Structure 1
Amino acid sequence: MRVARIVLIVVVILGGLFVAADRVAVNLAENKAADHAQSSEGLSHKPKVSIEGFPFLTQAATGKLHDVKITAHDIAAGDGGESVRIDSFRADLHGVKLSNSFSRAVADNASGTAFITYADLTKAAPAGITVSYGGTDPSGRAMVKLAGTFLSAKLSVLSQVTVHNADSITLHAQGLPKAFTALGLESQVRKQIDFTTQLTHLPAGIALSDVSATPDGISVSATGKHVVLAN
């Protein structure tokens, strides 16, 4: 009986040491992954990477991580004039395959959400246009309000926000005031009030799938398969 107790104690101690080693390893891996993501994507702030599941060492040995969560904030806009700053981005990655000495990582599938404030949408909008929450239309759909001036006259419209080409969002006015349309100025007004802006620094393979307006900003959903995280 005493031998059995000794064996049990040894197993428990070894198990504890394995857990400690595993946690150290996963913390190092998460930190390295975050550093690589920051440098490769040119992010101004280091993202948070969380590798789920236990044990991590076993997952690493097989070259495939079950689940990885990424959270990033203050993602700077790209070089293009049509890009926009992303306030926050969260992604859930499943089946992350590691290769090339862990320098390449591809997820079987992924989903995520990007949040953009109205202040940042205003910066991406045409000059003189302010973007804010517009409440809901008669059907209950949340709208975005765009306000500015055109030919020295005040202009305020409610716009729908939709996904465009899987990597951009478009704001399109539901309708224009009769004061402008009656003069045949709809085309000119829409050139100023309607616009499309691109989201940059998203992982390769991620495609925008939906967008909705909230009182504080817009929430953009994204999904993807065979998402390249590092290459």
Structure 2
Amino acid sequence: MADSYPAQDEGYPRRLPRSHRTGERPRRRGRKLLIGLLVLLLVLLVGLVVADRYAVGFAEREIGTRISQEITREGIKSGPPDVSVNGFPFLSQVIAGNYQSIVVVVRDVEAPVANAEAVHLPELHIDAQDIRASINTLRTGQGQVTAGTVDGTATIAYDSVLKLVDQPGLQLKEDGGKLMVTAPVQVLGQAFTVTGAANLKVEGAEVALSFSDLDVQGLPDIPVARLAVQEYVRRIAIRLPLPELPFNLQVQEVRPLPQGLSVRATAKNVPIN
């Protein structure tokens, strides 16, 4: 009797599983796998960014501490420094032992000046580029940390400049990119006002301050009066000692700003540890 039943292949088609007929389940599994990989990749990237930013914060705190110690060692008083480590990612810079840029801002600086009172600098801005420090140096504290270039800018308040000039009644201000002076002068028992422009020139650790194109309204056009004005001009034409700056910064330029004299200084191959 077994021979009376037709074989399954002969009379009845085989019924395939739904997944094989439609292809839905393999595609669904593929999508889930892809989404899982993307989520995992995203989590890893977020973790790396968080770790990178944490390392930056740690480095900025450590650098701030070391700079505070350096500033104190050089006899400079100031507020706590603000440090920014630039460049992303930071961890790749650590591995390479080369850092793009470190910017330091120090406020309320009282910098010593040779044979004079300390000069007040409202803000000292330092930008160190191309810093070289191996992982072993950072780990052990032994070895050299150097910056290829260091640029510093600071502003000397006019009040501090006037203390160094030490001439009663003298006033300084910026006008049209020039340093202008206004001062009282006594000529033949009469009071006059001198106005004019100042010339600034960096000479070593000093700024030569001289005046030209001075005008004295109402001054009698007589030799005695002119000599009196010339003598006063010689008294206020002085050499201003510049404050000592950290990291062996050497002043390159001084120019007037509304808030004071802007000092720009640079140094190369500077040890910063």
The aligned counterpart of 1:172 is 210
Counterpart residue number, 1:49: 83
Which ranges of structure 1 fall in alignment gaps of 5 or more residues? none
TM-score normalised by length of structure 1: 0.80
Contact 1:144 1:161 survives alignment (8 Å) = no
Decide whether the 8 Å contact of 1:129 with 1:193 is kept in 2.
no
1:210 aligns with 2:250: no
Single out whichever of 171-180 and 194-203 deviates more from structure 2.
171-180
Which residue of structure 2 aligns with residue 98 of structure 1?
Answer: 133
Cα 1:189/1:174, change in 2 over 3 Å: closer
Deviates more, 1:114-123 or 1:75-84: 75-84
Q: Which amino acid aligns with 1:66?
A: Q
Shift of residue 48, structure 1, vs aligned partner: 1.1
1:84 to partner: Cα distance = 2.3
> Residues 73 and 6 (structure 1 numbering): CA distance in 2 closer, same or farther, change over 3 Å?
same
Contact 1:84 / 1:200 at 8 angstroms: preserved in 2?
A: no
State whether structure 2 residue 158 is matched by structure 1 residue 118: yes
Unaligned runs of 5+ in 2: 1-29, 217-222
Partners of 1:193 and 1:148 in 2: how far apart?
15
Q: Secondary structure at the match of 1:174?
A: strand
How far does residue 96 in structure 1 lie from its aligned partner after superposition? 0.8
* Separation of aligned partners in 1, 2:255 and 2:113: 25
> 1:105–1:128: structure 2 CA closer, same or farther, 3 Å change rule?
farther
Give how far 1:22 is off. 1.1
Query: Does residue 159 of structure 1 match 2:159?
Result: no
CA distance in 2, matches of 1:68, 1:95: 9
Q: TM-score, normalised by structure 2?
A: 0.69
Contact 2:155–2:259 (CA under 8 A) maintained in structure 1: no
Partner of 2:227: 182
Match among 178, 193, 213 for residue 142 of structure 1? 178
**Distance (whole Å) between structure 2 residues aligned to residue 131 and residue 197 of structure 1:** 19
1:118 Cα deviation after fit: 0.9
Structure possessing the higher radius of gyration over alpha carbons: 2
Higher RCO, Cα 8 Å, sep 6+:
1
Deviation at 1:20, TM superposition (A): 0.7
Report how far residue 172 of structure 1 moved: 1.8
Displacement after TM superposition at 1:108 (Å): 1.2
Aligned-residue offset at 1:133: 0.8
Contact 1:122 1:129 in 2 (8 A): no
Name the SS of the counterpart of 1:128 in structure 2. Answer: coil
Distance 1:149 1:98, change over 3 A: farther
- Specify whether residues 215 and 120 from structure 1 end up closer, same or farther in structure 2 by C-alpha distance, changes over 3 A only: same
Q: Whole-Å Cα distance in 2 between the matches of residues 184 and 73 of structure 1?
A: 39
Render the CA deviation track for 1:51-86: whole Å, top value 9, x for unaligned: 111111221222211122121211112163345222
- Aligned partner of 1:85: which letter? H
Residue identity opposite 2:114 in structure 1: G
Give 1:200 deviation, angstroms.
Answer: 1.7
Q: Which of the pair is proportionally richer in helix?
A: 2
- After TM superposition, the structure 1 stretch with the greater mean CA deviation from structure 2, 155-164 or 218-227, is 155-164
Partner Cα distance (1:55, 1:121) in 2:
43
Query: Which structure has the highest strand share of the two?
Result: 1
- What is the CA RMSD across the aligned residues, in angstroms? 3.0
